Chain A
Amino acid sequence: MHLDEPITYLEHTADVGFEVRAHEVVDLFRLGAEALTAVFVDPHGDTATNARAIEVHAHDRESLYVRWLNELLFLFDTEKFFAVTISDLTLEQNEDAFSIRAIVHGTTFDPERHEFKMYVKAVTYHHVEIGKTDAHFRARCYIDV
């Protein structure tokens, strides 16, 4: 069951931030991908046509979140591929080693069908946070546009 308004965009003088909320930590990564993708592209309801297997590693959960999102930016910048849905999302932690694996289902940007909204340079570490309230988990980050 999803939370109401799982994605909130945050005010920042120069850039864009977003906070996502979910009942499970793993869903924070899914929602983060959705929030990020919505910043730079509007697929106008288009569906996924192919998929990428992604695996990312980091030394803590916050940097894993940043690296995961930056991997999606890398895919767009190099292949014009953007995410539509994500499946088989798994998080693993082994002491200071964190990793995420997922299948990202998406499509290639086509200016005839999709709207390019804004170029995102990177996901930053500024105020990056993954935390827990009584009710849910939340993740926050800011991106440089």
Chain B
Amino acid sequence: MKEKLAITGKAIRTDECRLRIPKESIPGMRIDGIVYADAELFRAIERDETIEQVVNVAMLPGLVGASIAMPDAHQGYGFCIGGVAASDAKTGVVSAGGVGFDINCGVRLLATPLSHDEVAPNMQMLIDQLFKHIPTGTGKSGKIRLSYPELDRVLTEGIEWAVNSGYGFASDIERVEEFGRMKTADATAVSDRAKQRGRDQLGTLGSGNHFLEVQIVEEVFDETAARAFGLWKNQVVVLIHTGSRGLGHQVCTDALESMDAAMKKYNITVRDRQLACVPIDSHEGQSYLHAMGSAANFAFANRQCITHWTREVFRDVMKTGDLTIVYDVCHNMAKFESHRVHGQQRNVLVHRKGATRAFPAHHEVLPELYRTTGQPVLIPGSMGTYSYVLVGKERAMDETFGSCCHGAGRSKSRTKAKAETTAEKVLEDLHRHGVVARAQTRVGLTEENPSAYKNVSAVVEVVHRSGIAGKVAKLKPIGVIKG
């Protein structure tokens, strides 16, 4: 392992929400580092390797703008979780670690026509039925069995495969980032091993910090945006957090092996091998981007299948399956976008690892229904705590490549979190807070208990005060299922 960098004291606070690590302050940095955090969140960020990881990323070749960490940032592997970095589309690099193993891990929010009062008497049955009908895929396969040719269609078509196969409606498509289909996908770039891992996992939630939550809109901050998003106070909504499962994980694993072996021929060295990267315009780079797009499509289809079963359960228990997608956002992805960098419009590859796109009003890629308001940004809290809906703002385009945070961010290791509580205590605590919970595994509760995470409200407050996204609504959980 390379020597630790001398980074203490190098971050300079520029305002209450931002700190800058000047590129001149640490040898090897090619661009500045920017951290979005207030004083308390920064103290948490400083405790682990997050800042070093921001600096390591700033040393990669061909990056533009700044290496960015969001207020929920914490130590990852290579890139920090909550990190954003952009490469010049022609001369820059792509890093599989800058996307992460769970390609297109993301969040989808569904709006129901129901109020809390209507749902409350049925919560236990609703959660029991959701737990029964939505596979977690932990230790066993899901409900959908795909042939390999059919899997290739999923990888190519994403949400369109799911809708055409009866999992939802054509009207769902525009309410998903990228309209649920990465056009860069090429199923032939996905290895047989990745397909073997993913074939029986379509339509599964996964475990760890993945979940499906039933929530209520507890508070509305921006009435205009909330109305545009179809949200109202006391409304019951559903938040789904999952990604590309074993298929995506293997795509990333394959790419890291390939990039790690290839860096030498491109004269690239990195401080952390998990930052393995290659020129975008290389065989390995292009192959990864095609495979990544395919894995992203698997995740879009995955969340669509889970949406379909959620609608079915609501229809059975609550006599209405009329759940509308508010939006579906990715938070582990690399995408070609056009951004202003130091006053010039440039085509860049934006890596978002545990960060969410947050495009403002009038952005051309947004669906018509959100052109006037800006994009919904979905920020899940940890289990049992608040989640938030934000809206993208123009300032994000100026500062963060149109990006925002993705959640609460961990503050405690899994071993510490597990040591401090038991599954029974977590369930009791959730129950005391009015949350009905079902989990497949005990660690699904103990390691994910709320004390292991930062205060999501504090994270969102920094985002809001910094102007990169605006608060729209606060969501309170009333039920959760986990792997």
Q: What residues of chain A have their CB less than 8 Å away from a CB belonging to chain B?
A: 9, 11-16, 58-59, 62-63, 66-67, 70, 74, 77-78, 80, 109, 111, 116-119, 121-122, 124-129, 142, 144-145
B75 near A12 with CB under 8 A, answer: yes
A63 near B261 with CB under 8 A, answer: yes
Q: How far is the CA of A14 from the CA of B47 in the complex (A)?
A: 13
Give me the 4 closest cross-chain CB pairs, A-B, nearest first: A126-B77, A116-B139, A125-B273, A126-B274
Q: How far is the CA of A6 from the CA of B101 in the complex (A)?
A: 28
| Contact for A127 among B139, B252, B272, CB less than 8 A | B272
**Cβ of B410 under 8 Å from chain A:** yes
Given A78-B196, A111-B139, the answer on whether A125 and B101 have CB atoms closer than 8 Å is: no
Q: Which residues of A contact B81 (CB under 8 A)?
A: 14
B208 near A126 with CB under 8 A, answer: no
Within the complex, what minimum Cβ distance (angstroms) separates B6 from chain A? 18
| Contact for A67 among B48, B257, B273, B412, CB less than 8 A | B257
| Contact for B101 among A66, A74, A121, A128, CB less than 8 A | A121
Tell me the nearest residue of chain A to B483, going by C-beta. A119
Q: How far is the CA of A129 from the CA of B412 in the complex (A)?
A: 24
B414 near A77 with CB under 8 A, answer: no
Given A118-B441, A122-B101, the answer on whether A78 and B197 have CB atoms closer than 8 Å is: yes
A74 near B193 with CB under 8 A, answer: yes
**Cβ of B18 under 8 Å from chain A:** no
**Cβ of B318 under 8 Å from chain A:** no
Q: How far is the CA of A9 from the CA of B418 in the complex (A)?
A: 13
Given A74-B197, A128-B273, the answer on whether A11 and B416 have CB atoms closer than 8 Å is: yes
Q: Which residues of A contact B252 (CB under 8 A)?
A: 122
Q: Which residues of B contact A116 (CB under 8 A)?
A: 138-139, 440-441
Q: Which residues of A contact B1 (CB under 8 A)?
A: 127, 129
**Interchain residue pairs with CB less than 8 A apart (29):** A13-B411, A14-B410, A14-B414, A16-B415, A59-B261, A63-B260, A63-B261, A67-B257, A70-B253, A74-B250, A111-B140, A116-B441, A117-B441, A118-B208, A119-B207, A121-B102, A121-B249, A122-B252, A124-B97, A125-B77, A125-B78, A125-B256, A125-B274, A127-B77, A127-B272, A142-B77, A144-B77, A144-B100, A144-B102
Tell me the nearest residue of chain B to A143, going by C-beta. B77
Q: Which residues of A contact B140 (CB under 8 A)?
A: 80, 111
Q: What residues of chain B have their CB less than 8 Å away from a CB belonging to chain A?
A: 1, 48, 74-78, 81, 97, 100-102, 137-140, 193, 196-197, 206-208, 246, 249-250, 252-253, 256-257, 260-261, 272-274, 276, 410-416, 440-441, 443, 447, 483
Tell me the nearest residue of chain A to B49, going by C-beta. A13
Query: Which of A58, A59, A116 has the largest count of B CB atoms less than 10 A from its CB?
Result: A116
A13 near B260 with CB under 8 A, answer: no
Q: How far is the CA of A109 from the CA of B196 in the complex (A)?
A: 17
Q: Which residues of B contact A142 (CB under 8 A)?
A: 77
Q: Which residues of B contact A67 (CB under 8 A)?
A: 257
Given contacts A126-B272, A126-B273, A144-B100, 9 further A-B pairs with CB under 8 A are A13-B411, A14-B414, A67-B257, A77-B197, A118-B208, A119-B138, A122-B249, A124-B101, A127-B272
Q: Which residues of B contact A9 (CB under 8 A)?
A: 415
Within the complex, what minimum Cβ distance (angstroms) separates A15 from chain B? 7
Within the complex, what minimum Cβ distance (angstroms) separates A69 from chain B? 11
Q: How far is the CA of A77 from the CA of B272 in the complex (A)?
A: 27
Tell me the nearest residue of chain B to A124, going by C-beta. B77
Q: Which residues of A contact B97 (CB under 8 A)?
A: 124-125
B273 near A13 with CB under 8 A, answer: no
Query: Which of B81, B208, B411, B440 has the largest count of A CB atoms less than 10 A from its CB?
Result: B208
